[in-house]
A and B are shown apart, each in its own frame.
Chain A
Amino acid sequence: MNLMLQIWAGYARLTRRWPGIAAIIPFIPVLALWTAVSEAGLFPRAFFPGPGDVVRAFFTLTYKGILPDYLQDSLIRLATGAAVGMALGIPLGILIGTSRWAHRICWPVLLFFQAIGDIAWLPILLIWFGFGLTTMTFVIVYTVLFPVVLNTVLGVESVPRDLARAALSLGASRARVLWEVTLPGALPNIITGLRNGLGYGWRALIAVEMIVGTSGIGFMMFDARRAGSTVEILLGMIILGLLWYIVDAWILAPLERATGQRWGLVTS
């Protein structure tokens, strides 16, 4: 009992000094299980590689320059798609959120197209644009757009009416109200939308790279399947998880907290 308390105290001190460790520790049993299964020799090595093999593949592919190149391609595609998606989605969301007519006209259309998933566009896109960057960008933008628009609308509509009225009766013009009240009021929701959009976009990107790609992490994994290289497939999967964890936990989540909690708009 005393030993358990000591371990717990040690863990508490350790994670206070290096908070990142708290995120790594839960993966220790997963890694242990993986190692145990692969070492036990239940499956052929080529069919079920262990962690060591994957780490070796990581260094080999990094050394050859393939992995950094592919990673860069994937990230640039995601960033481009996200930027375009935001540039379209935020103004559209504000228009729909502030104008009752725009809402009536756009909302049903928006829901209709949201239901046609990103991948469902691929057949027609391949005919229109062929196997290339245009098709990939379209899919990413499409995926990012809906969460951003829908959350922006939600954010704009959640700004209390009295705040806009207060600004108007303090002498603000309609344009100033948009800038001083509507946008900051909707910002926490916009960031939530971006966070969701990037999450969906990341997954859509990998799927599209598998089908139309000539580079990128998704392409690497699908290409490895052709060569029967399970190591590279597993490596790709791990990179997907790790990268998203970094983007979400280190960038997006703190950003969301910084706006919402500071202003008391989010209670948690």
Chain B
Amino acid sequence: MKMLSLRNLGKTYFDPYAGAHVTAVHDVSLDVEPGEFISVVGPSGCGKTTILNMIAGFIPYSKGDILLDGKPVHGPGPERGVVFQSFALFPWKTVLDNVGFGPKMRGVPKAERDRIAREYLALAGLSHAAHRYPNELSGGMQQRVGVVRALANNPDVLLMDEPFASVDAQTRMTLQEELTRIWQERKPTVIFITHDVAEAVFLANRVVVLSKGRVLDQIAVDLPRPRVWDDLVKDDRFKQLSARVLQMVRAA
């Protein structure tokens, strides 16, 4: 496992329509320990998705550094797995082949990558759907596939960009509970982008609040695990933390 560091990260791009330079991310420094679960919250336009896209390597950064175990990262790579809000499953591949895609790119033979894919599908309770196509699954099931597809590639960091924003409220709670369970089993390093304060607190060890391209504050979440919604909705500590984060986000 490796440590991810953002050092004075900044992103400025030229907007040809406005005819001016726009700064989406001013100056963000952040250290993420191996096996840590970090939520990043902030109002829209605070630069949270831009930061995630820079870490993933989808867009270049203008200043500062992104270091994975001390080495700068440029461009997308398999050591940084991504879970998309749009799921981004390959519609022409079965669920099994979607999950086995990362191993396939590494040159793992068919039988072995099927075994890996089945193992991860079992982790998400999706063994029965292995031979179905993504469009035959519900949104919640599709995103389960999205999560295990990224995990099956054994990334050093798992980047999640509002992954549960487009599923219904009940399914979202189930997915959040499953994610905390999977995280406890596998302990991947996770950076989870969301605008939902309760979700951020529920999932994370640490919540990072962003405002106008800067880190406003960081709050440690010391709630015990396993976390389930039935308990936490009644939990005073959870309510306190959520209220504190919410206040910050609204003032941001």
Q: Point out residues on A near B: beta carbons under 8 Å.
A: 160, 162-163, 165-173, 176, 180-181, 184-185, 187, 259, 262-265
Q: For residues 58 through 102 of chain B, which have their beta carbon under 8 Å from a beta carbon of chain A? A: 58, 75-78, 80-82, 84, 86, 88-92, 101-102
Question: Looking across the interface, which residue of chain B has its beta carbon closest to that of A181?
Answer: B90
In the complex, whether B149 has a CB less than 8 A from a CB of chain A is yes
Question: Smallest CB-CB separation from A184: which chain B residue?
Answer: B92
* With A169-B56, A170-B105: A264-B76 Cβ-Cβ less than 8 Å: no
Q: Is B134 in contact with A165, judged by CB distance below 8 angstroms? A: no
With A168-B76, A263-B133 given, is the CB distance from A163 to B90 under 8 Å? yes
B91 with A265: CB separation less than 8 A: yes
Pick from A170, A181, A184, A259: contact of B78, CB under 8 Å: A170
B122-162 contact mask (Cβ, 8 Å, vs A): 1 or 0: 00000000000111100000000000011001000000000
**Do residues B56 and A165 form an inter-chain contact, with CB atoms below 8 A?**
yes
Residue of A nearest to B146 (CB): A166
In the complex, whether B57 has a CB less than 8 A from a CB of chain A is yes
Q: Taking the complex as formed, is B106 at the interface, i.e. its CB lies under 8 A from any CB of chain A?
A: yes
Interface centre among A160, A165, A180, A185 (most CB of B within 10 A): A165
Q: Return the chain B residue nearest A166 by Cβ.
A: B88
Q: How far is the CA of A24 from the CA of B149 in the complex (A)?
A: 49
Residues of B within 8 A of A169 (CB): 56-58, 76-78, 80-82, 150
Q: Is the interface of B mostly helix, strand, loop or mixed?
A: loop
Q: Is the CB of A263 within 8 A of B92?
A: yes
Docked pose: A165 CA to B85 CA in angstroms: 12
User: Footprint of A on B, CB under 8 Å?
Assistant: 56-58, 75-78, 80-82, 84, 86, 88-92, 101-102, 105-106, 133-136, 149-150, 153
* Closest Cβ–Cβ distance, residue A106 to chain B (whole Å): 22
- The CA of A169 and the CA of B81, in the complex, are separated in Å by 6
- Interface secondary structure of A, over-half rule: helix
Are A264 and B58 closer than 8 Å at their CB atoms?
Answer: no
Chain B residues within 8 Å of A166, by CB: 82, 84, 88-90, 149
Contacts of B57 in A (CB 8 A): 168-169
**Cβ of A37 to closest chain B Cβ, rounded Å:** 51
Q: In the complex, what's the smallest C-beta–C-beta distance from A156 to chain B, in angstroms?
A: 15
Q: Which residues of A contact B133 (CB under 8 A)?
A: 262-264
Q: How far is the CA of A83 from the CA of B56 in the complex (A)?
A: 41
When C-beta atoms are compared, the residue in chain B nearest to A188 turns out to be B92
- In the complex, what distance in Å separates the CA atom of A165 from the CA atom of B80? 12
Q: Give Cα A50 to B237, complex, Å.
A: 91
A-chain residues with CB within 8 Å of residue B86 when the two chains form the complex = 160, 162
Closest residue of A by beta carbon distance from B134: A264
Q: How far is the CA of A185 from the CA of B92 in the complex (A)?
A: 8
Q: Are B91 and A263 in contact (CB under 8 A)?
A: yes
Give Cα A118 to B102, complex, Å. Answer: 47
Q: Which of B77, B101, B106 has the most CB of A within 10 A?
A: B101
Q: Which residue in chain A gives the minimum CB-CB distance to B135?
A: A264
The residue that A165 contacts in the complex, of B88, B89, B149, B153, with Cβ under 8 A, is B88
B88 touches A160 (CB 8 A): yes
Question: Do residues A165 and B58 form an inter-chain contact, with CB atoms below 8 A?
Answer: yes
Report the minimal beta-carbon distance from A225 to chain B, rounded to whole angstroms. Answer: 49
User: Which residues on B sit within 8 Å (CB–CB) of A187?
Assistant: 92
Complexed CA–CA distance, A181 and B92 (Å): 9
Cα distance A181–B90 in the bound complex, in angstroms: 7
Which of A170, A173, A187 is most buried by chain B, counting CB atoms within 10 A of its CB?
A: A170
Contact B84 A165 (CB under 8 A): yes
Q: Which of A160, A162, A167, A181 has the most CB of B within 10 A?
A: A162
* Interface pair B56/A170, CB less than 8 Å apart: no
Q: How far is the CB of B238 from chain A (nearest CB, A)?
A: 32
Q: Is the CB of A171 within 8 A of B92?
A: no
Chain A nearest CB from B129 CB (Å) reads 15
B56 / chain A contacts, CB cutoff of 8 Å: 165, 169
> Could you write out 7 A-B pairs with CB less than 8 Å apart?
A166-B88, A167-B101, A168-B57, A169-B58, A170-B105, A184-B92, A263-B135
Taking CB as reference atom, which chain A residue is nearest B76?
A: A168
Smallest beta-carbon distance A194→chain B, Å: 18
